[in-house]
Amino acid sequence: MIKTVACAKLATFNPFEPTTATVANYKQYTISFPEPTFASSVFTMSGPVHIASDGEWDSLLSGTSVVVADFYADWCGPCKMIAPHFERLAKEHSSPKKVAFAKVNVDNQANIARTNGVTAMPTFKIFHNGTAIETIRGANPSALTEAVNKAVSLSGSSGKKAEAVFQTPGRTLGGGAPVQGQGRPWNVSGLLNIVLMLVGLYLTSLFSARNKEAIAFQESQDVSKAQSLEDIEKVVREAKQRFRDTLPKGYLNEEEYALYERLYGPPLRETAPEDVGIPTHADMGGQILIPRPADEGTLLRQSEEGGFEEVTYRIPPRQGDEPEPSPESEQPLESESAVETVEEPSDYVDAVARNPREREALQRLMEDFKTAQKKQMEDEIAAAREEAEVEQEAYEMDEEELFPESKEIPADAEPEMGLGESRRFHPYTLDGRFHGSPVEISLPQSTLVTPIRDLLDRTHLGHVKTAAEAAFGGQGLPTSPFTPEGRKNGQMGGVGLPPDQRHMTEIEADAFLAGYLPPSYASVASVLREVRKRLGSGWIKQRLQKDGSAGLSVLDAGAGGAGLVAWDQVLQAEWDLLREQGVVKGSQPPGRKTVITGSDRLRHRLKSFLPNTTFLPRLPDYEHSGEMQGERLDAGDKPQARKSYDLIIASHLFLKEKQDHYRQAVLNNLWTLLNKDGGVLIVIEKAHPRGFEAVAHVRDTLLKQFILPQNGEQSAPTEELNPAYHKEREPGHIIAPCTNHGTCPMYKEVGKSKGRKDYCYFNQRFTRPGFYTKMLGNSTNNQGDVEFSYVAIQRGRAKADQLPGWKSTEQAFAGYENSPSPPDMQTLPRMVLPPLKRKGHVTLDVCTSEGKIERWTVPKSYSKLAYHDARKSHWGDLWALGAKTRVSRSVRVGSGVDDGGKRAEGGKKPRKVEITMDGGRLSANEKSARKERRTKGKRDRQTDLIKEILEAEDIEELEMEREMDAEVQEELEMENEKGRGRR
């Protein structure tokens, strides 16, 4: 491409010539230009060039002699401050192929910034022939101007070296420069005049320029310093807001970290992904995808709660299919390997990051979390596979020997056992299980979890957690129905916020929903499932099948509505079975539901997800109310019908009552509310020694005062019965967990016991909702275990078994594996501790119907099926397959009730009390009282020493006051004597 332009050829200035005028001679030149490229088109324009790629940067360095680059960021304050000054220099000194000014955004061109070692913004770098010769960090206008002027001088002469320009203290004016044109003779006078003129001009301009430059430099330094300190403080405060009391590694530089320590102190630790909410919002970013094996399929199976669960199964290879290649010979494709891990930027990080530094730190935390999550998943899979292999290898049963079956089964023949667990376990083992299948209970989403979550969305969950910790004993909620590990022997009181509390604030009502209902539902659902197994479904179906029946009535006294939700699950299952058989019609079973709630705020919340429910502020008291008949105006000839309930769930009602007679009054009230014809009373308390003692006291009182003894069993001893609570005893029996109706082997002495180690309690695993997990302060684990003590009693119906306890224990020890008659499940021994699995035998700690705690041993030589079922048994199961050996197990029930020692029991030394009268006060001291044996600690000794010192100082002050008074008195007497002498 040929272009014709007009170029100006200037005459060369020679300072040694006397003339000062120069003439510009213009000539016409024809210059040949190539096609316009980046280097030839962009640099013809004035102003800085914005670099958009690595190619543009390389082209700029290779096609330009001097390049002044500004490495900046959009969020950088000093960068914005010095940008106008950089643009002025660019417009003034830009020259095509000689001098170019470039702006490089470090966020968009991170590779260029990393290659040039840029660590702070702004950074100015000067390149000569592609090599960096000068670096200026920070917003320093004077230093930048000086460096640009030096760099511009390099572009005009190719002979100059960058080292000579940027390292020498200054330039030499005048000499050394070649003179163009014809030489002339020396003129001494003219040369002297020129030198004097130049020196004068130099001195004049020097002082004025230095003064202005100093002022401008000082102002720019002050602005830069103020701006830099402001930016550092901003970074530090944003780091505190984002990461709280933690700090990512290497997030702040030395100056920023020093300011951080001065403002907030050193951070507690390095930031973890949980500190910035990454585990909660990890689903917003990329996910880790693990390919499913080709021989594995999935099915959706409906669970008992109405939801669906995914079930995996193996697909058997078909005939004719080619075998899959081995992992050694198979080479995965790039696309297949990309499916295994998806690396995508997190939407959560992009949403919360306020600057590139935060984004980089959060991205690193997200990657650490994903790596840890993937490793945890791999470890769990590997551990599960290893456990399955060890279990299968060490304890694999000979199924052909246990369950012989012929190769050809007639079409009309029915197998004795089906597939799955019914084929691998004895039927009596499955009937005696305490936990269902699956062992973990899932809280109903539509009727419990979702309504509570919707109610909690109105309040910040952090405030609800604070209120829950204040109401339920602190971190971990130890006084809620759930007791954290390690807090069982510390706080052994009742629940901190019972549902019958008359006054609750708005935040306390939300805390009750979030911290009380989930574990309460799990414990009540577990007990209801066990009661349904032991009584059978007949006691529910009989009421539902009656024509015109109102159904079953239930009272939730203490569970806060969670008991009603659990009861609806059981009742709906029985109703669906009857509806499939065509016995009943309709989608909802009839019945009456009542719950005790003392607070209006709590009642309004429970109404949103407990329809058709009656709310009572307290328990009805029929024990002290008279009959409504006779002479009263609002009564008829017949007494009015009183309320009675087929099921009463008394959850956490007795432990909060400190006195035994208060518990007796609550029990009497509940018993009068219970239906006389088969009503069921369930008592649940917390799983610690005091909670067990409250449940055991209720059981002991029922057996001694309310229920008739069973056939073949002696009546429980009744000592010191309160005549005010004496009732006519009636039929009834204990449904669960006890298999005997005698004295509890762990509660032989009534009352509290010091140092109790063994007590009867059970556990239930459940899936924690997200809001409940946050209440506990653990956002990663969604599995929880609630432990509880309970007893279930049926009123009006005795047990069908006629055998005494010792006889039932003998039969259970012999086992029912090959027995033609089925056992009575309520007479079988129950496991009160987890089974001890050893190589070749299993040890079971059971509570027998004889009323003893025994240790039964089931070796492999006794029975392979019994040994297999014993290894798979769980805590709380009933055992029906017998054992080979049995021994009595001692129970650690503590030191007994504190009765005051031997002297209170009538020992040899009587108690002597000395009564004295001191200053009108009557005091009594026991002469034979025991001395304090406990040695004083260091703090007590220091306290006693301080007391002695203070007493000594008081005594010394009194003596000094007495001496001073005596001296004053002597002086007065002497003055009086002198006055008398003068007279």
Q: What is the pLDDT of residues 822-845, one digit of tens each?
A: 888 888 999 998 899 888 889 999
pLDDT, one tens digit per residue, over 135-173 is 888 888 888 888 888 888 877 654 556 556 665 443 333
847 is catalytic: no
Q: CA gyration radius for the chain?
A: 46
Rounded distance, CA 800 to CA 152, Å? 110
The beta-strand segments (E) located in 634-782 are: 647-651, 680-686, 732-736, 762-767
Which of 7, 76, 744, 760 is an active site residue?
76
Judged by DSSP in three states, 34 sits in coil
Q: Output the pLDDT for position 217.
A: 52
Bridge partners of 298?
312
| Residue found by looking up tokens 């697909």 in the block | 315
**What is the distance between the terminal CA atoms of the chain, rounded to a whole angstrom?**
142
Average pLDDT over all residues of the chain: 75
Give pTM, 2 decimals: 0.54
Burial of 100 (0-12, 13-18, 19+ CB in 10 A): buried
Rounded distance, CA 518 to CA 538, Å? 29
φ/ψ region of 553 (left if φ > 0, alpha if ψ in -120 to 50, else beta) reads beta
CB 620 within 8 A of CB 557: no
372 pLDDT above the threshold of 90 = no
CATH architecture label of 34-169 = 3-Layer(aba) Sandwich (3.40)
Mean pLDDT of 796-810: 82
Residues 6+ apart with CB under 8 A from 750: 697, 700, 897
Mean pLDDT of 817-823: 87
Name the DSSP letter for residue 122. Answer: S
Which has more confidence, 222 or 272? 272
pLDDT, one tens digit per residue, over 323-359 is 444 433 334 333 333 333 334 445 677 767 778 888 8
602 pLDDT above the threshold of 50 = yes
Which of 7, 79, 744, 847 is an active site residue?
79
Mean pLDDT of 388-410: 46
DSSP, residue by residue, 879-893: --S--SEEEE-----
Which has more confidence, 568 or 7? 568
DSSP, residue by residue, 427-457: HHHHHT-SS-SSSSBPPPIIIIIHHHHHHHT
DSSP, residue by residue, 36-76: --HHHHSTTSSS-EE--SHHHHHHHHHH-SEEEEEEE-TT-
Rounded distance, CA 540 to CA 526, Å? 17
The beta-strand segments (E) located in 655-731 are: 680-686
928 pLDDT above the threshold of 50 = yes
Q: Output the pLDDT for position 191.
A: 67
Highest mean pLDDT among 46-50, 175-179, 494-498: 494-498
Which has more confidence, 706 or 639? 706
Mean pLDDT of 483-504: 81
Mean pLDDT of 789-808: 85
Q: Output the pLDDT for position 65.
A: 87
Query: What is the dotted CATH code of the domain comprising 459-623+643-795?
Result: 3.40.50.150
79 is catalytic: yes
φ/ψ region of 176 (left if φ > 0, alpha if ψ in -120 to 50, else beta) reads left
Pairing verdict, β 131-137 and 123-128:
antiparallel
Rounded distance, CA 740 to CA 710, Å? 10
223 pLDDT above the threshold of 70 = no
Mean pLDDT of 565-572: 91
Rounded distance, CA 126 to CA 689, Å? 79
Mean pLDDT of 213-238: 65
Indicate the pLDDT class of residue 903, thresholds 50, 70 and 90: very low
Q: Output the pLDDT for position 728.
A: 80
19 pLDDT above the threshold of 80 = no
| Residue found by looking up tokens 């009534």 in the block | 750
Indicate the pLDDT class of residue 858, thresholds 50, 70 and 90: very high
